[in-house]
Amino acid sequence: MATAGGGDGDLQVKLGHVFYFGDKNGIKNHAQARRYYQLAAGQGNAEAQATLGQMLSRGEGGPRDLVEARRMNALAADQGHAVAQTFLGIMHYQGDGGAQDFVEGRRVLGLAAAQGHAEALAWLGTMHYRGEGGPNDYPEARALLTRATEGGHLEATVTLGHMHFDGQGGPKCFFEARRLLAIAAGRGHPAAQFTYGGMLLNGDGGPTDMEAARGQYALASAQGHMESQGMLGQMSFNGQGGPTDYPEARRQYGLAAAQGHTTAQARLGKMYYDMGDRAPLEPYPCP
């Protein structure tokens, strides 16, 4: 009878999972998990190779080794392991553990995408969108990102929303763009919050709601989103979607200006020019 130490690859993987994810008491031991995955990977177990590749790339349970991580993912990818194919494609894309190779990255991600892996669909869709590793193909990008979005992928949802907004790869549809960006904004994505806020402000794809727009800009601003800081400063200054708040306008313009936002720099400069070091308390008089 095979034992974990003596060559039962499936048992070694199961033990590796116990040590990696935690036993019934929640105790984890990544060094032990790595050891069992190495034993199973040496016998050609694709799940072990894929998991070991991820541990090596993150430095879990031992030294970080991107070269070996790439090799392990390649071994598992050759056996059709979708997660390994995705990680390997990303490593080729980023140049982790070897040369950067967009063409190979696109090919390997295509293998995982064909199995419906949401992360691979998102990466491959983005590569088609940008023309990386092959021709630019907006319709294919839109189709891939749609599938990734259906799998709950956040970045894919944002990019797909922008494609519907701009009419890339298919008809322009503000309604669908607003729906998708609202989903991503609700999950805390600052770029989605910014664009969704703009749609609420301008009434694109639905009714105008300045109060909600200001709220979206505030959420994105709190995450350091430069354009949202500029817009929140403008809305606070003009009293759009809420009360006029010059100190807050000045603060938001300052945050955006510090990141290089030229319009915010100009507006902040005007506030200093008109009021000096004192934040204005009353609206500017008419000229």
Quote the pLDDT of residue 273. Answer: 84
Banded pLDDT at 277 (limits 50, 70, 90): low
Count each helix (H run) and each strand (E run) in the chain, helices first. 15, 0
pLDDT band of 272, cuts 50, 70, 90: confident
| pLDDT higher than threshold 80 for residue 2 | no
The C-alpha angle 204, 209, 215, rounded to 5 degrees, equals 110
Match 């306008």 to its residue by tokens.
249
Residues 6+ apart with CB under 8 A from 63: none
Distances in Å between the Cα of 19 and the Cα atoms of 4, 8, 28, 35, 41 are 13, 17, 5, 10, 16
Q: Which residues of 102-137 are buried (b: 16+ CB within 10 A; e: fewer)?
A: bebbbbbbbbbbeeebbbbbbbbbbbbbeebbeeeb
Whole-angstrom Cα distance, residue 111 to residue 85?
7
Q: Could you read off the pLDDT of 88-119 as tens digits, one per residue?
A: 999 999 999 999 999 999 999 999 999 999 99
Q: For residue 173, give both structure tokens.
A: 């549809």
Bin 59: left if φ > 0, else alpha if -120 < ψ < 50, else beta.
left
Reference 241, options 203, 265, 211; nearest CA is 211
pLDDT at 287 over 70: no
Alpha-carbon gap, residue 32 to 11, rounded angstroms = 14
The pLDDT of residue 210 is above 80: yes
Report, as an integer, the average pLDDT of 132-157.
98
Domains of the chain with CATH codes: 1-41+48-55 (no CATH), 71-172 (1.25.40.10), 191-287 (1.25.40.10)
> How would residue 24 be classed by pLDDT, with cut points 50, 70 and 90?
confident
This prediction's pTM: 0.88
Q: Find the range with the poorest average confidence among 3-12, 89-98, 143-152, 241-250.
A: 3-12
What distance, in Å, lies between the first and last C-alpha atoms of the chain? 93
Contact 227/194 with Cβ under 8 angstroms? yes
pLDDT average, residue stretch 150-171: 98
Least confident of 21-30, 192-201, 268-277: 268-277
DSSP tag of 222: T
